[in-house]
Structures are given as C-alpha cells and as structure tokens.
C-alpha cells in the first residue's frame, strides 16, 4: 500500500487556459470513395474538461478542495465546461467573453485509435483578463497552493503579476509552462516542463550531466525553488538547490499520454499542500502519471488508485 497523506483539507487554486475535450467514438469499416480516408460511423459522443480544467479535475480526484479561475466564451462549450466542473465538485469562476470561442478539441476515435483532432479557438479580450486578475488576488487567502496552467491560449496574460501576488501572500506557485519565454515565470516555486518543452528553452543535451548543468542554470536565472523535467519513458527529474532527484518511469502499458502533464502538476500541488516534501511529492506524481497513461484521453487518478499503486 502506497502511503498517501490526508488531502481532504488541502486547498488548491487553479488558474489558466481551459478547454473542452470532445470525443467522437465510432466504427471504421470502409474507406471513403471521395478521398483515401477512413469513414467513421459515430456511435458515442463524450465530453471531458481539458487544459486547466483537467488539472482542477485531477486535484479534486485526489480529494483536495479546488477552485478554478479562467475565461470562456458565452457559448454552449463554455456552459458544458461549467456543468462538468460543477459535477466534479469544483468551485468555478469562469469569466465570460462574448468575443471569445471556448477552446474545443474534437478527437475522432475509431477502433480505439485517434484518427483526427480538430481545434476551435481564439484569444480572450484584455478587459476580461484584467477582471480575472482582481478575482485571483481576492482568492489567494483561501488556498494553500496555486497552479498556473499555461496552454498558450491567452488566459494567463498577467502571469508575472499573478506569481508576484501569490508569492507575496506566501503561497507556493507551480507552473506548467509553454513557449520559449520562461522569463515570465520568474519567481515561481516550481516549473514542470516536459522534455521537448525543456529543449525549446535550453537546447539539446548529450547526457544527464549536461541536462543538469542547463537545468540548474535555468533554475537560478529564474529564481525558482525547483525545476521538474518530465521525460516520458526516462521518468522525471527534480532539480533543486544543490540536489538532483530522479524517479524512473513506472513500467506500464502506455495507452494515451494526453493530459499526463496535467496529472503530474495536480498531484505535485495536492501532495505539497498536504505536507509532503518536493521529492516525496514527485514520487506520488510519477505513480499517478503511470496510472493515467493507461487510460484513453484526458483522465484522472483517484486517491484510491494512488493508494494502491505500486512502483
């Protein structure tokens, strides 16, 4: 039995880009006469929260009390997201922007394989984001850990101010980063780039020693407490002041890696907020990631699954 702390009083504030993940499941039995593509006869439609909403759902699945702050469009997808969040017991503050289309990722699945993904998205209005910043500041007193989930959709235009406000309130700030400009994340407690995101920022490395040098330099430049690099089949490595800790990947059949990064940062936040150290929290995050990659689509790891997980 994996020893997991009591998470019932842990309060997490998740801020970032939300999206709605739609899945069309169907049978494929022929190729289209119009083009060399499979014809999918859709038999089932499913909707799941994506992006920062999936991070929030993962925190809630681990027993924490969760608030989600984001921007959506005044549309059917935004209403669906609010309903899904409410069903998961998550307190939501979804600011509406009439000029915005809620980000939707539509995946077409045939024979348990993803055949196509279609994205619908645009960027939020500046005034709506400014209102979100004021809402963020008012919610800081009622949380233990802040997660900033950046999917590059424009929902975190004020991330530098958010980090400064949270750190001034003595809150731990975990950031799932995007893009090449990591300067905007300076002062956060922890960043969780994956292997390819890390390469975008520091360039390639030939071995673990070179990765350590580059990671430590980046950590110091950005004044982070730690940097956690998720490395797919190579596991994950935590770089903190004068120390490097590594967790090997949990050997399981990988079914779908989408949303695994959401599970990692959510588990880290909940475990840190529940009193575990960073290396202990990374161990739990690694186990949780091993569970969700065995599931189709954006998924969660429950507290019970984590308790019974074996490395």
190 - beta bridge partners? 174, 226
The length of the chain in residues reads 311
d(CA 269, CA 284): 11
Distance CA 68, CA 252 (A): 31
Q: Judge whether 109 and 54 are in contact, CB under 8 Å.
A: no
Q: What's the token pair of residue 149? A: 């989930």
Burial of 100 (0-12, 13-18, 19+ CB in 10 A): buried
Beta-bridge partner residues of 176: 149
Rounded Cα distance, 309 and 286, in Å:
10
Within 8 A by CB and 6+ apart from 113, the residues are none
- Rounded CA-CA distance 290/256 in Å is 11
Cα 193 from Cα 149, distance rounded (Å): 11
Dihedral over Cα of 265, 271, 277, 279: its sign: negative
Question: What separation in angstroms does the CA of 20 have from each of 65, 199, 258?
Answer: 22, 28, 13
Dihedral of the CA atoms 72, 256, 231, 60 (nearest 10)? 50
Instruction: Report residue 91 as tokens.
Output: 């307190």
Classify residue 179 as left (phi > 0), alpha (psi -120 to 50) or beta. Answer: left
At residue 35, φ and ψ (nearest 5 deg) are: -160, 160
Residue 127 is encoded by which pair of tokens?
């005034």
- Which of 144, 150, 176, 262 is catalytic? The answer is 262
Residue 262 catalytic? yes
Indicate which residues carry an active-site annotation: 262
């Amino acid at each position: 039995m994996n020893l997991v702390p009591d998470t019932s009083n842990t309060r997490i504030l998740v801020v970032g880009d939300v999206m709605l993940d739609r899945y069309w499941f169907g049978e494929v039995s022929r190729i289209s006469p119009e083009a060399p593509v499979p014809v999918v006869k859709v038999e089932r439609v499913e909707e799941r929260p994506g992006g920062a909403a999936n991070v929030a759902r993962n925190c809630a699945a681990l027993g924490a009390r969760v608030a989600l702050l984001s921007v959506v469009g005044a549309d059917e997808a935004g209403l669906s997201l609010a309903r899904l969040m409410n069903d998961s017991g998550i307190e939501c503050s979804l600011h509406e922007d009439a000029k915005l289309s809620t980000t939707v990722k539509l995946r077409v699945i045939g024979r348990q394989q993803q055949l196509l993904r279609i994205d619908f998205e645009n960027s939020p209005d500046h005034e709506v984001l400014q209102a979100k910043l004021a809402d963020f500041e008012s919610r800081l007193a009622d949380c233990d850990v802040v997660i900033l989930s950046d999917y590059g959709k424009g929902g975190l235009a004020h991330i530098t101010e958010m980090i400064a406000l949270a750190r001034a309130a003595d809150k731990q700030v975990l950031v799932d980063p995007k893009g090449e400009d990591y300067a905007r994340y300076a002062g956060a407690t922890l960043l969780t780039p994956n292997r390819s995101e890390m390469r975008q920022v520091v360039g390639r490395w030939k071995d673990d020693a070179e990765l350590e040098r580059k990671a430590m330099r980046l950590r110091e430049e950005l004044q982070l407490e730690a940097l956690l690099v998720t490395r797919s089949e190579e596991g994950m490595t935590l770089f903190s002041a004068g120390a490097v800790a590594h967790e090997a990947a949990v050997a399981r059949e990988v079914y779908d890696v989408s949303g695994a990064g959401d599970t990692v940062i959510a588990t880290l936040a909940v475990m840190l907020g529940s009193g575990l150290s960073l290396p202990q929290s990374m161990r739990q995050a690694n186990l949780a990631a091993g569970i969700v990659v065995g599931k189709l689509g954006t998924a969660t790891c429950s507290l019970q699954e984590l308790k019974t997980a074996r490395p």
